[in-house]
Amino acid sequence: MPLIAPEELLGRLDDPDLRVVDLRWYLGRPGAGRAAYDEGHLPGALHLDLDLDLSAPRGPGRHPLPDPVAFARRIGAVGIGPDRLVVAYDDGGGWVAARLWWMLERLGFPRVRVLDGGIGAWLAAGGRLTTDVPAWRPVPAVAGRPWTGTIDRLALRRRLGTLVLLDARAAARYRGEVEPIDPAAGHIPTALSAPFDENLGPDGRFLAGEALATRFAALGAAGPVEVVTYCGSGTSALHHALAMRIAGLPDPVLYVGSWSDWSRAGEPVATGPEPGPPPP
């Protein structure tokens, strides 16, 4: 199970193998996640930044994946090794935490969990916050391995109409009614609107596996078909990877560059509530 309940985490804070990672990050507000961490975070938590630690400085889209060797070194330098229980959290339903979960899994880390409900559920369960910053001893970096389970823009364009493409952004961005950061509004032709926050219940925790399986089945993403997920920059799309794992479904493929890559490249754009046909 890729999740850990806050009630369980409360009982594991003294575990010397525990590594908690705060991943709060806010669109268009560089440094705000670290500022929130400095104001108060889970005991023993270290902060990692989506822009600085989980992304490359250059590449397709706003948050290209970093070089896996460099990322493995970065993780080892702050004391996160494959023999540790790593718990990732944020305050946005797990959408950034899911990216660290996905990245570490692909580096071969066997025990990575996302805190179900994030910092809000932690506080609701009676957890406390602290301003103490841990100093974990560095550990040897694991061997970097190429990222798997991804697709680039050109390969995706050739295959539109032959796979299930899920857009994890808010429905208004999918329809093209608003676009806060990228150069074009709308969605990739053939994509289905599947906002990532609909994987969550009213309490901010993930829906049960059966409910998630029903959701993805309704999207046509639960059968013997390849599923590709995307969002604005390859982050909240991985919320679907986490949700599909909870549902017992095969892992989807990630379009890393996502809408930020597609829209900047001048590719065809669809608007409105319908997926639209594949481009010629």
- Domains within the chain, CATH numbers bracketed: 3-124 (3.40.250.10), 150-264 (3.40.250.10)
Mean pLDDT of the chain: 96
| pTM of the entire predicted model | 0.96
pLDDT value, residue 223: 82
Q: According to the model, what pLDDT value does residue 206 have?
A: 98
Query: Catalytic residue numbers?
Result: 231
pLDDT of 250 over the 90 cut: yes
- DSSP E strands in 97-225: the ranges are 112-115, 150-151, 164-167, 192-193
Is 90 exceeded by the pLDDT of residue 39? yes
* DSSP-derived 3-state class of residue 186: coil
Predicted pLDDT of residue 143:
84
User: What is the model's pLDDT at position 179?
Assistant: 96
Mean pLDDT within 141-145: 86
Helix axes 68-77, 97-106, angle to 10 degrees: 110
